Structure 1
Amino acid sequence: MITVKKEGILLKKTELDFECDGVLNPAVIKDNEKTHLFYRAVAKGNISTIGYCSLLNPLEVQERYEYPILRPEFGYEKHGIEDPRIVKIEDIFYLTYTAYDGINALGALAISRDLTNWKKLGIIVPEITFEEFKYFSEIDKSHDEKYIRFNKFQISHQENTEEVYLWCKNLVFFPRKINNKFYFLIRIKPDVQLVAGIEKIEDLTSQFWNNYFLNFKEHIVLSPKHEHEISYIGCGCPPIETERGWLIIYHGVHDSVEGYVYSACAALLDLDNPGKEISRLPYPLFKPQEKWELKGEVNNVCFPTGAVVEDDTLFIYYGAADQRIAVVSVNISELLDELITYKYLDVEVNNL
C-alpha cells in the first residue's frame, strides 16, 4: 500500500450567514502560479452557495472572501449550488456543479475567462423522468434492477412525478479536449458514465440524450467492484493527465452498521480512449479515520473533489464529514506505480 499523509483541516465554517452550517467539497485549480479554491458553503436551511479563497501554498489560505462568488439565481438551482469542480480548457474555465431545486439534483455549468465574472449555461445533463428512464431500461437490458433500485426513491414522496428527473450528479470535465472534442464524466447511481466526443455544449440536446440512453451500457466506464465501493461510486476530482493514463480520484461508498461510509479511491483510464479502464486500487486510497472525518453533518465521509500537483506531490482536497475541508498528500509517482502493479495482476489473472 502507498503512503498517504493526512495534512489536516484547511477550512472550517464561520459565523458568516452564507457558510455558518458548513464548508465542504471544493473545486481547486492552479492558474498562473496562483491556486484558487471554490467551495460549497452551506447556510441555515441547507441552502448552498459557492465560496472562494486563494492559497498561499497547497496547505495555507492566503485570502478568503466574506461573501459567495456564486449563488442561486434561477429556478433550477433555487435550493442550492453544490459540489463544484473546475478545469481550464484552452482559455476558458469550466466550473460544474450540482443544481438543486428542492426536488431534482442535476449537473450544471458556468464558464469564465477570469475566475471572477461567470456566465451560467444552465443544466447540461439529461432531464429525463423516471418513467422515461424505465422505458429506455426496457429497450436496453443494461438498465438492470440495480438502476431502478437506486433511482426510484426520488419519486416515492413526490405528488407530481412529472417534475421529478433522474438524478445526474458529479459532472466533471476532462481538463483538455480529446481529438478536439469535449469529454466529461457523470454519475447516475450506482456507476460512473462517460460522455464523449462533444464538439460544443449546445450539442447536448434532448435527441442527443435519447440516443445516449439507447446505448447506455457502452457509456459505463466505472462500476462498483471492491468491498469499500460496493454500494455505489461517483466522480471526484477532475481527471489528471499522466504518462500512464488519466488518473481518476473518485469516491466509493459501502454500507456498514453505522450507515454509508465514503472513501477516496483511485483508478487509471486510457489517455486516448477514456472509456477504457486500465487499473484501479483494490483498497481505498484513504478513508474516514480522523475524528473530523468520522463525525459531522454526515458521518464517515471523505469526499474528494479537487486536486493539484506540485512537483511529484499530489494534493487532494475533500469534504470531511460534510462539514469541513481537509487535504491529503501522496507521491504521485508512487501512486501510479501502485496502480500499474494492479494492471499487471489483472493481465496475469486473465491469462491463467
Structure 2
Amino acid sequence: MVKVERYKCNPLIRPNRDHPWEALAAFNGSITKDNGKFHMVYRAISYKQNYHERNLNLSAIGHTISDDGINVGGGRLFIKPEFGWEIFGCEDPRITRINGKYFIFYTALSNYPPTASSIKIGLAITKDFVNVEKHPVTFFNSKAMALFPEKINGKLVAILTVNTDIPPAKICLAFFDEESQIWSEDYWKSWFSSLEEHVVLLPDTKNDQIEVGAPPVKTKHGWLIVYGSIKDYLSPPQTFGIEAVLLDFKKPFKVIGRTKKSLLVPEMEYELYGVVPHVIFPSGAIVQNGDLFIYYGAADTTCCLAICNLDKLIEEMLI
C-alpha cells in the first residue's frame, strides 16, 4: 500500500489563546495556491462565551498565507457570523480558485443548539481576502461543498454532501451554467426535487458515514476526491478515516478508482486527544512536486499534514 507519512512537525496550526476567536481550536484547513503563495482558510473555535442569549463556543474562519504550504504561521480572523442564516457559526471552509476569484464554501449554522434544519451551506467570494461577498446557498441540510477548479463540459461544477445530519449522507454533484446559480433558491429547489439523480455512488460505503473532505484535485487520470469516512457509523465502535476516489474527467459521476482501505486513521497523540478525541478529517489537498499534500483536522483541535506520492496513490486506486 502507498506510504502516507505524517509531517514530522505536526500540527501546522494550533489554538492560540492570544486570539479569543481561535483559543479553543484551529483545524480543518483548506488550501489553494496562486502566484507562488499558499492561502489557507481554517475553522477556528472560541472559548465559551455569551452570545445572542446563548452560552457557546463560536466557530469562525481564519486565513493565513505561506510560501510553502507548510510553515503557515499565525492566522487572522477572516469570516465571522454576520447574517441570520450563519449567525451561530461559520465552520469547515473549502476553498477553490476559479475565474480569478476564491470561492469559499462553509457550514453555516442558523440556530443553537443546531438541528439538521439549521445546518446548511454558505459561500464567501473574494478576490483579495479583504472584500468579501456572502451568500446563503442551500435550503436543506448539507455541508462540505467545494467547486472543481475547472469547468467540466462548459459548466461550473460543485461537489457537496447532503443529509449530513440525517444519515445516510450522500455525496452529490451540482452543475451550474452561470455563477449566480450557485446561490439561486430556484436552482436548488429543482435540484433537490430530483436528489437521487445527483448522487455519486461510492463503493463499499453502505455502513459508513461519508463526507466530502478536500476540494477536487486534478490529476492526469481524473479528479481526485479525498473524503472523510466514519466506519460502522450506526453500530459503534466507530473509526474515523481518510479515503479517496477518482472520478472521470468528463463524466464525474463515474468512479474510476478508489482506495481499498483508509489512508490514515487516528494514531498519534494529537489525533487521539483534543476537543473531540479519536477524530481525523481531511479538509484540503494540493499537489507539490509529485506529492499529494493532505491537510486534515486532528481531534477537532489542530490542523495537520500528511504526504504521499501521487502517482503511487493513483496506481493503487485505479479499478
- For normalisation by structure 1, the TM-score amounts to 0.80
Question: 1:94, CA displacement in angstroms?
Answer: 0.6
Question: 1:185, CA displacement in angstroms?
Answer: 1.0
In 1, the alpha carbon distance for the partners of 2:12 and 2:78 equals 19
Question: 1:285, CA displacement in angstroms?
Answer: 1.4
Deviation sequence 1:66-102 (CA, Å, 0-9, x none): x411111111111111000101112111111111122
In 1, the alpha carbon distance for the partners of 2:315 and 2:86 equals 41
**Contact 2:36 2:67 survives alignment (8 Å):** no
Deviation sequence 1:261-312 (CA, Å, 0-9, x none): 3211111001011111112112011111111112211122111111121110
* 1:260 matched residue in structure 2: 238
* 1:337 matched residue in structure 2: 315
Cα distance, 1:54–1:200 mapped onto 2, change above 3 Å: closer
* 1:173 matched residue in structure 2: 147
In 1, the alpha carbon distance for the partners of 2:65 and 2:136 equals 27
2:286 paired residue among 298, 305, 308:
308
Secondary structure at the aligned position of 2:81 is classed as: coil
Question: 1:203, CA displacement in angstroms?
Answer: 6.2
1:196 paired residue among 175, 178, 186:
175
Q: Choose 1 or 2 for highest CA Rg.
A: 1
In 2, the alpha carbon distance for the partners of 1:239 and 1:278 equals 15
**Contact 1:236 1:304 survives alignment (8 Å):** yes
1:81 paired residue among 75, 90, 100:
90
Tell me whether 1:251 sits opposite 2:254 in the alignment: no
Structure 1, unaligned runs of 5 or more: 128-165, 344-352
Secondary structure at the aligned position of 1:64 is classed as: coil
In 1, the alpha carbon distance for the partners of 2:92 and 2:232 equals 22
Question: 1:201, CA displacement in angstroms?
Answer: 2.4
Cα distance, 1:205–1:55 mapped onto 2, change above 3 Å: closer
Give percent identity, aligned residues only.
33
Question: 2:142 is matched by which residue type in structure 1?
Answer: C
Deviation sequence 1:119-168 (CA, Å, 0-9, x none): 11x2112x1xxxxxxxxxxxxxxxxxxxxxxxxxxxxxxxxxxxxxx421
Instruction: Show the 5 A alignment for 1:1-352.
Output: 1-7=1-7, 8-15=10-17, 16-44=19-47, 45-61=56-72, 63-65=73-75, 67-102=76-111, 103=114, 104-120=118-134, 122-125=135-138, 127=139, 166-189=140-163, 190-202=169-181, 204-223=183-202, 225-226=204-205, 230-255=207-232, 259-340=237-318, 343=319
Secondary structure at the aligned position of 2:231 is classed as: strand
Cα distance, 1:36–1:210 mapped onto 2, change above 3 Å: closer
Question: 2:85 is matched by which residue type in structure 1?
Answer: Y
Cα distance, 1:222–1:285 mapped onto 2, change above 3 Å: farther
Secondary structure at the aligned position of 1:284 is classed as: coil
- For normalisation by structure 2, the TM-score amounts to 0.88
Question: 1:259, CA displacement in angstroms?
Answer: 4.8
Question: 1:212, CA displacement in angstroms?
Answer: 2.0
Secondary structure at the aligned position of 1:57 is classed as: coil
Question: 1:200, CA displacement in angstroms?
Answer: 2.7
Give the total of aligned pairs. 297
Deviates more, 1:277-286 or 1:327-336: 277-286
Structure 2, unaligned runs of 5 or more: 48-55, 164-168
Question: 1:71 is matched by which residue type in structure 2?
Answer: K
In 1, the alpha carbon distance for the partners of 2:197 and 2:109 equals 28
Question: 2:63 is matched by which residue type in structure 1?
Answer: Y
Question: 1:240, CA displacement in angstroms?
Answer: 0.7
Runs of 4 or more above 3 Å deviation: 202-207, 255-260
Question: 1:221, CA displacement in angstroms?
Answer: 0.5
**Contact 2:202 2:255 survives alignment (8 Å):** no
